[in-house]
Structure 1
Amino acid sequence: MTDVFDYFTQVDLPTPTLSDGEVQRLFAETFGVEIDVHALGSQQDQNFRVFPRGSTESLGVLKLSNPVFSEAEIDMQDAAAATVAERSPSVRVPRIVEGPQGAMSTWWESSHGRIHARVIENISGHTLMGSAYLSPAVVEALGDLSGKVSLALADFTHPASGRVLQWDPQHATRVIDTLLPLEPDIEMREIVRRATDAARAALAPVESTLPRQAGHFDVTDDNVLCAPGAAVPDAVIDFGDACVSWRVGEIAVTVSSILHHDGASPESALAAVRAFDRHRRLTDDEITALWPLVILRGAVLVLSGRAQVRVDEQNTYATVALDREFRILQQSASVPIPVLTAATRAALGRPGAPERAWPGVGILSPARHVEIDASTESPLNDAGAWLDAATLDTAARAALDDGADMVTVPAWKARLTGTTEPLPSAIETIPTDVLVWLAAPVRLDGAVVLDDGSLTWTSDAETLTILGTREGAASGILPARTRLSMRRSAAGTPPPPARVSPGFAAAWREVAGDPGAAIGAPSTVPTADDVLARRHDVLAEVQEHYYTLPPRIERGWREYLIDVDGRVYLDMVNNVASVGHAHPHVVAAGSRQMHLLNTNSRFHYRAITDYADRIAATLPEGFDTVFFVNSGSEATDLAIRLAMAATGRPDMVAMREAYHGWTYASDAVSTSIADNPNALSTRPDWVHTVDAANSYRGKHRGADAARYAPEAVAAIDELAASGRPPAGFIAETYFGNAGGVALPDGYLREVYAAIRRHGGLAIADEVQVGYGRLGEWFWGFEQQGAVPDIVAVAKSIGGGQPVGAVITRREIADRYRSGGYFFSSTGGSPVSAVIGTAVLDVIQREGLQENARAVGSHLKERLERLAAKHPLIGAVHGSGLYLGLEFVRDRETLEPATAETAAICDRLLELGVIMQPTGDHQNVLKIKPPLVVTRASVDVFADALDRVLTTGW
């Protein structure tokens, strides 16, 4: 039998500590190359990155194996690596480096005795070392690599494969039994003991049936590489733990390495399990064993790491790893094993257990039972009532007053009502308890009073834990007209947490049961949500939605958006909801008018006149005529047509990189390649463009941006001289689509003067930036000290209602009449007009322009502090509550960080913040929240962004 290492004969494994000088000498003697070395970390081996003397190009990684490992074991590691490389070509695997004298692999006679040295190919890329965030794609890729390696080694054999390692999953309990008594920290011993006792109990019934095979058993964040420029790993290194063990141990080890990363949880790790299962379908016994093995792995890491530090205090690699190893144990044991197992079966599409009935008769038998709907879409939550802690009690008592014997709010259904602190939001939104109000007191015979004042009542193997009994607890009386919370669990086990995540809710319910069944009020099992799939089936593909897997948003309030699972998101992107979602004054105005009249705008009614007066009053003198349409596209389209009709000319001048809409004329002058990659090459010949006056990224930057205006003037003059004087010039008054970049000072004054000198008209596109969003100015053109001839505005003026307007002078409007008539069926309809008026009411009465100035200034200051901290931020653009945060890979070249921006937005969504990219390179965060956003809310956004930029995306 091959002589191989047995950990249990030598528990303490001090790391080799050869000096740099000795390593350099032995390397030159055996491999014939003079080298420089850079020490790398390892728990039990000694590793160096080696460079030919004087070179900065690495030769490879020198691995000095711990002297306890035999030549046969080292040969097995190399053979396993070669097998994976051959059988799974998509997985990059390092080979032994060839030197002047052949393969760089040999034994050294060193000051530490006989030790094996080999140089492993330094394949390109970076590991996932550390505890930075891992995206779902990276987690999935880790599981995919683990599965590919396992498949490649499925029939691999070697004489040394029977080695006994402390990292081998099948020996985990033995390692724990060896190290736990040696752990000096009593509290740590107890934490490990509690976690591992549960894991052992869960593993015991299946461990004898688990399939075994050769494996890597260390496909972890430290031992994979992402190719340069790639976001997901595709390489596996370090086969030092190769052996034969339980097959499921491969993915258990991989999952454990995910759990210490920022934001990681057992739920997020399931993406790796699914990917592994696609290659190596897990048996039911393996699913049962998976999470116990993850917990045991965490315990082994904790105990081994702490033991290694005690043996080898100078091993900084082991010392630094202690915190993340403990987090692995904490996370793996944070959810009961039966719940994790049920969730894993569901994630893999395996059948789950049927709904458990409550044994015996329910403890309450109401004659009349009323169930309250507290979900996201319930009318109970209208007008912000969901933020009031008293809303549920008020509704329940009203039902009792109306004759109900019992009122309940069901368990396992999203419960928005009573969310008094919505930000920062938590993912755990699904309640595990049923809420109960009784019309009369009920004595609960057999109830047990716990130390915390709660009651428990047991029927057969089921326990009901009841909170809220107050003074009646000692006598086992459930009081009347008092909110009671009841949670169900198996007898002898603690009740579930108050709330769980939507992704784990079904698993928790399977394990804990429905408490409503105990009182005769079981809730229905939720059905799968197919709305996104149906949307994809019925809507045109080009009509996109935010995010690949978007939350289903069904309620808004102020700066909050709420999904069907009851999670509250901070809306930092929605300038359409200018005065906040569901503002009561706007809702009331629209509702009242719907009761009165809604028709096309050719009828005579007061609302359209009042609204036109109110809009005109916000503009400089002379803007006395208003057209109403339904959108920004229609507004800019009509503005262009007005200019053409008023001048009798067909040509228009537009600024590049702008977006003005999707109708024929508005699209013709839109040149943003983010919206249309062929924008510049497909312009009709009547559209002439000038450079985007972007002082940060454009042709002229900084102080040189003053050159944009004279160059635009020259282009207009040249066009006129060629015999094609333009009808008008259209531009956003403040770069909206490009991310909130201000135009150079005086730009519009100069260009407007030039267009007018040739008889043309100046059109201000205020669709995104107008209506007080800039804080200091109500209209964007005010920032420029310029006055246009035509203003086009939409989005924010309707607060979500489709309202657009074009405002100009009477003489310009009258020229349009000579070419026919204008009609928009619902533009300026009674409902649209009163809603638009209500929006202006709110902006003026609630001081929202000032709020935009004050809160926007605070947010911009916070973002500028982040820019000083994070090199990815190239610039902070904008004013008020129209800000742009531009991400670049290099602050000198301004290479846009497009992929990073998309990933940052996805990570922000996980943290409960709605954000999207903008700009031609899609590398700018478009920060344009509802104008009611508070200082506290923008701090939540800034904190979340700081976390993302610090911990990764």
Structure 2
Amino acid sequence: MPNRLQDIMRRRDIVLGPGYQFSETIPVEFVSSFGAHLVDRDGNDYLDAYNNVQGVGHAHKHVVDAVCRQMAAINTDTRYPQKLLVDYAERLLATVPPALSKLSLPCTGSEANDLAIRVARFHTGGEGIIATRWAFHGRTREVASFSPMLGAGSPLGPNVRLIAAPDPRLVGSGCSLEDYMRDQIRSAIRDLDRHGFRLAALITDSAFTSDGIFTHPVGFMKAVVDEVHAAGGLYVADEVQSGFAQLGDSMWGFSRHDVLPDIVTMGKAMGNGFPISGVVFRPEVSHEFGQTVGYFNTLGGRSISVAAASAVLDVFEQENVRERVVSNGATLRAGLEALTRESPYVGEIRGSGLYLGVEIVKDKRTLEPDSARCEAIIKDLRDRRVLISRTGPGSNVLKVRPPVAFTAADASRLLETFAVVARHRL
């Protein structure tokens, strides 16, 4: 490891607070970027097939120019009239069903989910929250209380109940996935009631990312949401990870299930790396909260962040992003399936668009997770300058989640590199 990098790491350990981690076992100092590529100090090009925060591409010129122009002009908050802000809100709301017509702007996905649950509690008068068994929705104290992925060191709230992810393999014979998920919701609601908690909300990541990535089959969510509404609760669709066309066949993951959420939360790719997130409400859900409590975020909705977010929507309109995601995602999935078809160590390949999971197991019959093999594959790919990550309760699902700027050439490079690694590991 270069002395320069060692020095950065040493100084970092001295000055940064607890809990900071590197994204790789062996850290790399990146100094420039473009599209789905990161370049280190020595000029080595790494394919970024993991970081979808810069969704429309690292250092995208249109976004950079929009931010620079706004920064050189003015940067005000939502307490002042901003035409740019109103224009953006109208454009963003045009991408969701008309019944979702009110937008609030925090800074992060954690803040968005925090506000969503706060409003849900206020509207319903309930405290109970239902989430999936290995979900991650953020890191504020409130949101961490229903993010079991954070582990034993971050306890769940007594008002939280967990349900299994929609894995069709868990469904018994004679039962549909829809029935299986509905029964879990009913059981969770009964248990909340028994312990004195009225239901406030069900919150799900629309790709069930931390649970291992489950995007198919679609349609079962309607029965789930109906049960939640019947119990007086709200449905919060967490699109922080799956939104902005990451799943390809729609702008938002919830729309694939033909359901109408009460609240939708957004973040990550919203500002292409600039701190902006969104919470979209049905107006009848948020009205009283707005009148009685109100909401203001000093940095949420500032001119510069809105300029970045507006430029992201420009790119979606100008570059046919969703069509590109569908095409390159299909190529990527087909290639991964072909390369792993005969492997005894791949349980299945899941996902949609440019959000794919490759389940690594010790035995296809038992589906016992193999986190060590999964980590070895990630390291081998990284050594060949392709970056991915992993997910799932067993840390055994390869997470391939590139920015939507991913091109056909990028997909080919990933598959060619994966083929080399697969020959040794799969």
- Structure 2 match to 1:356: none
- Taking a change above 3 Å as real, the CA distance of residues 702 and 604 of structure 1, as seen in their structure-2 partners, is farther
Q: CA RMSD in A?
A: 2.1
Of all paired residues, the percent bearing the same amino acid is 34
Query: Which shows bigger deviation, 707-716 or 791-800?
Result: 707-716
Deviation at 1:821, TM superposition (A): 2.2
Distance 1:668 1:744 in 2: 29
> SS where residue 365 of structure 2 aligns?
coil
User: Do 1:792 and 1:806's aligned partners in 2 also have CA atoms closer than 8 Å?
Assistant: yes
Q: Which amino acid in the other structure matches residue 30 of structure 2? A: I
- Taking a change above 3 Å as real, the CA distance of residues 702 and 738 of structure 1, as seen in their structure-2 partners, is farther
Deviation at 1:776, TM superposition (A): 0.9
Deviation at 1:654, TM superposition (A): 1.7
Deviation at 1:657, TM superposition (A): 1.1
Residue 761 of structure 1 pairs with residue 212 of structure 2: no
- Structure with bigger RCO (C-alpha 8 Å, 6+ apart): 2
Q: Which amino acid in the other structure matches residue 593 of structure 1? A: Q
Residue 588 of structure 1 pairs with residue 60 of structure 2: no
User: Do 1:720 and 1:726's aligned partners in 2 also have CA atoms closer than 8 Å?
Assistant: yes
Q: 2:210 aligns with which of 717, 737, 750?
A: 737
User: Do 1:755 and 1:761's aligned partners in 2 also have CA atoms closer than 8 Å?
Assistant: yes
* TM-score (normalised: structure 2): 0.94
- Taking a change above 3 Å as real, the CA distance of residues 641 and 849 of structure 1, as seen in their structure-2 partners, is same
Q: 1:710 aligns with which of 182, 206, 217?
A: 182
- Structure 1 match to 2:334: 861
Q: Which amino acid in the other structure matches residue 923 of structure 1? A: N
Residue 676 of structure 1 pairs with residue 151 of structure 2: yes
> SS where residue 594 of structure 1 aligns?
helix
Residue 687 of structure 1 pairs with residue 164 of structure 2: no
- Taking a change above 3 Å as real, the CA distance of residues 827 and 891 of structure 1, as seen in their structure-2 partners, is same
Deviation at 1:634, TM superposition (A): 0.6
- Taking a change above 3 Å as real, the CA distance of residues 872 and 575 of structure 1, as seen in their structure-2 partners, is same
- Structure 2 match to 1:569: 46
- Structure 1 match to 2:320: 847
- Structure 1 match to 2:418: 945
What does 1:603-752 correspond to in 2, within 5 Å?
Answer: 603-672=80-149, 675-677=150-152, 682-696=155-169, 698=170, 705-715=177-187, 717-719=189-191, 722=194, 724-742=197-215, 744-752=217-225
Distance 2:152 2:127 in 1: 25
Highest Rg: 1 or 2? 1
User: Do 1:694 and 1:700's aligned partners in 2 also have CA atoms closer than 8 Å?
Assistant: no
* TM-score (normalised: structure 1): 0.43
- Taking a change above 3 Å as real, the CA distance of residues 604 and 873 of structure 1, as seen in their structure-2 partners, is same
User: Do 1:770 and 1:778's aligned partners in 2 also have CA atoms closer than 8 Å?
Assistant: yes
Q: Deviations over 1:183-226 (max 9, x none)?
A: xxxxxxxxxxxxxxxxxxxxxxxxxxxxxxxxxxxxxxxxxxxx
Deviation at 1:951, TM superposition (A): 2.7
- Taking a change above 3 Å as real, the CA distance of residues 754 and 952 of structure 1, as seen in their structure-2 partners, is closer
How many correspondences in the alignment?
A: 425
Residue 796 of structure 1 pairs with residue 269 of structure 2: yes
Distance 1:831 1:528 in 2: 32
- Taking a change above 3 Å as real, the CA distance of residues 933 and 745 of structure 1, as seen in their structure-2 partners, is closer
> SS where residue 235 of structure 2 aligns?
strand
Q: Which amino acid in the other structure matches residue 186 of structure 2? A: A
Q: Deviations over 1:555-607 (max 9, x none)?
A: 11001000111100000001101001011110010000000111333222222
Distance 1:617 1:843 in 2: 13
Distance 2:175 2:332 in 1: 26
User: Do 1:905 and 1:916's aligned partners in 2 also have CA atoms closer than 8 Å?
Assistant: yes
Q: Which amino acid in the other structure matches residue 390 of structure 2? A: P
Q: Deviations over 1:845-867 (max 9, x none)?
A: 10111111000001000011012
Distance 2:326 2:420 in 1: 26
Q: Deviations over 1:735-769 (max 9, x none)?
A: 12234212553321011111111222111011100
Distance 1:610 1:536 in 2: 43
Q: Which amino acid in the other structure matches residue 676 of structure 1? A: G
Distance 1:821 1:734 in 2: 31
- Structure 2 match to 1:538: 15
Distance 1:941 1:528 in 2: 27
User: Do 1:630 and 1:826's aligned partners in 2 also have CA atoms closer than 8 Å?
Assistant: yes
Deviation at 1:705, TM superposition (A): 3.4
- Structure 2 match to 1:875: 348
- Taking a change above 3 Å as real, the CA distance of residues 904 and 691 of structure 1, as seen in their structure-2 partners, is same
Residue 550 of structure 1 pairs with residue 39 of structure 2: no
- Taking a change above 3 Å as real, the CA distance of residues 765 and 603 of structure 1, as seen in their structure-2 partners, is same
- Structure 2 match to 1:597: 74
Where structure 2 has 5 or more consecutive residues not aligned to the other structure, the ranges are none
Distance 1:569 1:531 in 2: 20
- Taking a change above 3 Å as real, the CA distance of residues 788 and 667 of structure 1, as seen in their structure-2 partners, is same
Q: 1:836 aligns with which of 309, 313, 317?
A: 309
Q: Which amino acid in the other structure matches residue 754 of structure 1? A: E
User: Do 2:350 and 2:358's aligned partners in 1 also have CA atoms closer than 8 Å?
Assistant: yes
Q: Which amino acid in the other structure matches residue 900 of structure 1? A: R
